[in-house]
Structure 1
């Protein structure tokens, strides 16, 4: 067998045509067309630095059968229905689901407790937020099977490559129905319209292997005894006991932070970031990034921006977060009386709008730690979200301002068409954000306008508030055992514990916690 590794630059017209791409790769590999048995595409990214955007591909050319494990290994789950080694997993987001599957592989029986609904039924509560502006505190864009990422984009890109095997997570997703393209694309993305089916398949695999998944099951108390967690108490009054509990509740489970604080379990305030969503016509971003009016076969263009600001002598970063090309802004509140926005994209990324969080770093020095202690960041978030709700009229309508007007601190007489279904209300965003955060965002937007033509104008509008970028609380754990440093049997996990920042990193952390739990039983 002959194998040749190569990297090629192709026009989009060739790169996205399977036959043309195959022939072009063979030609650059110096292999006669028809002689190769297989071309394994390993990486695909867009290179838009030149006058014409190109597609950069990395591929292996085989002139013989490829190795049998080229796409594997796939995962085989033993049946753990009758095992006595049980693990409670609180939360059915990516951290919880991947922790459960890894527990099964290791011979442990997971019992997954999810406060919200299954991924399909959950849709009715999302519709209620968008159409009727009614927020169900247990089932919304943040809570429910699949977690916050399921109906808010499904982006799989992560920089946390040292925390685990990214390829392993992606292969598990493909095995359960995700497109194989995620194994190739530099910025893989499933899409909010396709991810629910993958999430359902993950759950079905857990149940088929003997694990349990319980919906509408909210944890309200802890079974604590001599600094050891023996289990949890549910809203129904039922007590569940297990040797280990993986706490994977996500970054918005404020009642869990309140519970831990009330029960004297050590938690810590941590830095996070918040700001607004900015919405542009996707065509404006395409033109700026690709330098052509029609993008053709190229995907909807995205961007990544960062700027260092200084306000009142304090430096803080302002940066784009969760950029959603061809996407929508969605309401992500988890309780009545607050307005929170997030972004999502369908798999085709074919909306007329582009949106991105533009957020400023919030450090511990910016918080009232003296008064609120470990919950200082949470209280800061709450206050901002409640101001946003009050400013826009007390519903799920979101406060908004034309970007050019925001830079001039001028009230917008009218707003643009938007992808945000509950609707927008024109306000001075300074009244929502406060003077320091508003000034940081202005400095950031002015810099971004110099980097992307047309970006910082009234062709765009800002929508508030983007406040759930990450958890404002960290639940500490021992770096060696991944257990809480004081409470044995408690394994803080994923975004809600402060150890992940997205679907893939949360999934990797879930697998790590499952392996740490296995060490307890070994």
Structure 2
């Protein structure tokens, strides 16, 4: 007989299958030897009290052998001579849209301004070590999009945003660990994502799809309210335009360019294709010793207790939110055991983000701490019209670059000094490889953002005792949390002006992370399939 049950055990049993079996035996009133197999369906930690528990959803096989059900392979179809759809951008939305089109027998043609994952690594090394920014190959642009080298968190948990399990199964199909199907906060890891992305690429190419790297869309061919084609220019190894252009045409076009493709927003605006402002968030990235976050979250009093807990629990994370002067202040993309990364897309910018390897075993914990920005907060940028939010982002990024020494070094301040408005004579060690320089961040930020962040950190210090410490460092600035522009579409996923253009995911303002972007890309593909098949 097969039973499903919920079990609550001390955290030491987080991965202890023998403890699971003992608990199932007691719960079901059967001898342990009658339990032939236990399958983990769901796992989450409860660390709200001093004693930490793990909540498990188990499938228990009693007097019945367990037969591993092989996951049915997705039925992709060869598409070499099929109808085609052009996808602009090879991030999660673009790749998952392409895979969905393959299922329907439609040929995806992906145009990606950046490089493939292997070549992209060299440009990431250059920005970290040489402070050299390739404008078309960096942490934001390139195969896999921003998510490839930005931690690999699989955040979205609401089925209202589409079939999450389907997306997670696709990741497993292409090489992700099956633990992402059961953990409450699944995470692939920046070190593992590139290989998964490459497997997706191989599948697309093997079946007759196309992927063109170093190919940046620069112009639209419009006629009678319809997109007739797009013109793309080849980009050289350094990210410079070569003057070599190609026109591509297809039945439909999926726009999946991500939140940092500001040139695409301006291209649409030039052609009077509707875009509109939306709320977003900006702020800083804060980094603590991971041992401190472990101590706070796992209620440890000594280093020995932390060491013992970490034998069976992952690096601790946190999620914080408060209201500060009528605006939300919250943690964003929290990276346990992680690294702060330089995510500029132009040489005169400094942009921060964070990532973690799959083991989350680096000595620091970092998180974006950001303030919600509404259109009313952008009065100083009203002359920029629909691009007011982008103007704020660009101003902060340029200010950080200039104050950090006109390099990829980032302005920084001890957390306690930032809250008190004091200069930091010294700075703690930091994972940000290009380096940090002491600056008065509160003077570099707009007053309404700086004050809200300061109050937010005070509130967070009350919620997590020990969080507000001089051992933490605040690094500027976190500006790319989401797009400040939305590309409007109708209920059929079509742009309201250009009906064969399908804007989707983060760049269009409809997603916020790997999973939600993948879901939205699939939805765009499905809308096209309904018309073409």
Query: Shorter-chain TM-score: which interval?
Result: over 0.9
In 1: Cα distance, 2:124 partner to 2:205 partner: 26
Q: Which of 277, 280, 286 is residue 272 of structure 1 equivalent to?
A: 280
Cross-structure match for 2:214: 216
Q: Which of 320, 330, 347 is residue 341 of structure 2 equivalent to?
A: 330
Question: Can you list the C-alpha shifts for 1:418-445, whole angstroms capped at 9, x where unaligned?
Answer: 0000000000002221211110001100
Cross-structure match for 1:262: 270
Cross-structure match for 1:53: 52
Question: Can you list the C-alpha shifts for 1:215-246, whole angstroms capped at 9, x where unaligned?
Answer: 11111111111111122101131100011000
Once the two structures are TM-superposed, the CA of residue 68 in structure 1 deviates from its matched residue by 7.1
Moved over 3 A (4+): 65-69, 71-74
1:261–1:160 CA distance, 2 compared to 1 (3 A): farther
Cross-structure match for 1:474: 486
Whether the 8 Å CA contact 2:157–2:164 is kept in 1: the answer is: no
Whether the 8 Å CA contact 1:38–1:66 is kept in 2: the answer is: yes
For residues 391-402 of structure 1, the aligned pairs below 5 Å read 391-402=403-414
Q: Which of 312, 318, 341 is residue 303 of structure 1 equivalent to?
A: 318
Once the two structures are TM-superposed, the CA of residue 160 in structure 1 deviates from its matched residue by 4.1
Cross-structure match for 2:449: 437
Cross-structure match for 2:372: 361
In 2: Cα distance, 1:95 partner to 1:190 partner: 17
Q: Report the more deviating stretch, 44-53 or 298-307.
A: 44-53
Secondary structure at the aligned position of 2:138 is classed as coil
1:160–1:226 CA distance, 2 compared to 1 (3 A): farther
Cross-structure match for 1:95: 93
For residues 183-202 of structure 1, the aligned pairs below 5 Å read 183-202=181-200
In 2: Cα distance, 1:244 partner to 1:372 partner: 31
Determine if the alignment matches structure 1 residue 382 to structure 2 residue 394: yes
Cross-structure match for 1:343: 354
Whether the 8 Å CA contact 2:191–2:357 is kept in 1: the answer is: yes
In 1: Cα distance, 2:189 partner to 2:28 partner: 34
Whether the 8 Å CA contact 2:14–2:313 is kept in 1: the answer is: no
Secondary structure at the aligned position of 2:286 is classed as strand
Cross-structure match for 1:371: 383
Once the two structures are TM-superposed, the CA of residue 283 in structure 1 deviates from its matched residue by 0.6
Q: Report the more deviating stretch, 369-378 or 382-391.
A: 369-378
RMSD: 1.4
In 2: Cα distance, 1:303 partner to 1:409 partner: 25
Whether the 8 Å CA contact 1:15–1:21 is kept in 2: the answer is: no
Once the two structures are TM-superposed, the CA of residue 66 in structure 1 deviates from its matched residue by 5.7
Q: Which of 104, 107, 116 is residue 105 of structure 2 equivalent to?
A: 107
Whether the 8 Å CA contact 1:151–1:344 is kept in 2: the answer is: yes
For residues 131-280 of structure 1, the aligned pairs below 5 Å read 131-235=129-233, 236-280=244-288
Cross-structure match for 2:239: none
Question: Can you list the C-alpha shifts for 1:386-406, whole angstroms capped at 9, x where unaligned?
Answer: 011111111000000001011
In 2: Cα distance, 1:355 partner to 1:463 partner: 10
Unaligned runs of 5+ in 2: 234-243
Question: Can you list the C-alpha shifts for 1:366-393, whole angstroms capped at 9, x where unaligned?
Answer: 1246411211111111011101111111
Once the two structures are TM-superposed, the CA of residue 364 in structure 1 deviates from its matched residue by 0.8
TM-score (norm 1): 0.96
In 2: Cα distance, 1:128 partner to 1:454 partner: 36
In 2: Cα distance, 1:152 partner to 1:68 partner: 33
In 2: Cα distance, 1:436 partner to 1:489 partner: 41
Q: Report the more deviating stretch, 18-27 or 483-492.
A: 18-27
Determine if the alignment matches structure 1 residue 30 to structure 2 residue 38: no
In 2: Cα distance, 1:510 partner to 1:24 partner: 42
Q: Which of 317, 320, 324 is residue 331 of structure 2 equivalent to?
A: 320
Secondary structure at the aligned position of 1:478 is classed as coil
Question: Can you list the C-alpha shifts for 1:52-99, whole angstroms capped at 9, x where unaligned?
Answer: 212110112133356876x7443121111121x100000000000000
Cross-structure match for 1:4: 3
1:205–1:22 CA distance, 2 compared to 1 (3 A): farther
1:417–1:370 CA distance, 2 compared to 1 (3 A): closer
Once the two structures are TM-superposed, the CA of residue 120 in structure 1 deviates from its matched residue by 1.3
Whether the 8 Å CA contact 1:303–1:323 is kept in 2: the answer is: yes
In 1: Cα distance, 2:515 partner to 2:67 partner: 27
In 2: Cα distance, 1:74 partner to 1:357 partner: 38
Cross-structure match for 2:502: 491
Whether the 8 Å CA contact 1:493–1:513 is kept in 2: the answer is: yes
TM-score (norm 2): 0.94
Q: Report the more deviating stretch, 257-266 or 183-192.
A: 257-266
In 2: Cα distance, 1:519 partner to 1:196 partner: 32
Determine if the alignment matches structure 1 residue 16 to structure 2 residue 15: yes
1:231–1:279 CA distance, 2 compared to 1 (3 A): same
Cross-structure match for 1:459: 471
Whether the 8 Å CA contact 1:113–1:217 is kept in 2: the answer is: yes
Question: Can you list the C-alpha shifts for 1:456-499, whole angstroms capped at 9, x where unaligned?
Answer: 121211001000000011011002x1000111210001100000
Cross-structure match for 1:287: 295
In 1: Cα distance, 2:270 partner to 2:213 partner: 25
In 2: Cα distance, 1:22 partner to 1:399 partner: 52
Once the two structures are TM-superposed, the CA of residue 5 in structure 1 deviates from its matched residue by 1.6
In 2: Cα distance, 1:303 partner to 1:134 partner: 33
